Amino acid sequence: MKHYFLLFIIFFIFLFSSCITNKDVVYLQEKGTLANDSLQIEALSKPYRVQVNDILSINVKALDEELVSIFNPVETTATSGGQQGQSSLYFNGFTVDLHGNIKFPILGEINVLGYTIKEIE
């Protein structure tokens, strides 16, 4: 009898612990206000602005490759965007320092903090 009672208690605990409340189910919630939804859409539509510790990949191109070889010290190979591409970006990219600058050959320090990609181009 004790074994059945113990199994019943374990089954009962398992049954109620696997349920979630209606509050956690998204499709049962009321929709947000129109103002709240529009603020979320507006935040998503803003262009990305460069921040501290971002790594920028900068490639300078010209008809004569020797002229721009100092700006592109390591020849980049076409990668599939996997781990190899990310690791090469870490070593060959330009990191934004705490002051928002990158150190670019010949040109020196360039402030890029808070600019969008189009503004930096």
Q: Residue count of the chain, please give it.
A: 121
Q: What residues contact residue 90 under an 8 Å CB cut-off, 6+ apart?
A: 55
Q: In this structure, what token pair is assigned to residue 33?
A: 């206000």
- Reply yes or no on whether the pLDDT at 59 is more than 70: yes
For 107, the token pair is: 């040109």
Digit-coded pLDDT (tens) for 65-120: 888 888 876 655 554 445 556 777 777 888 999 999 999 888 899 999 999 989 98
- Tell if the pTM clears 0.85, that is, is over it: no
| pLDDT attached to residue 77 | 52
Q: Looking at residue 112, what is its pLDDT? A: 93
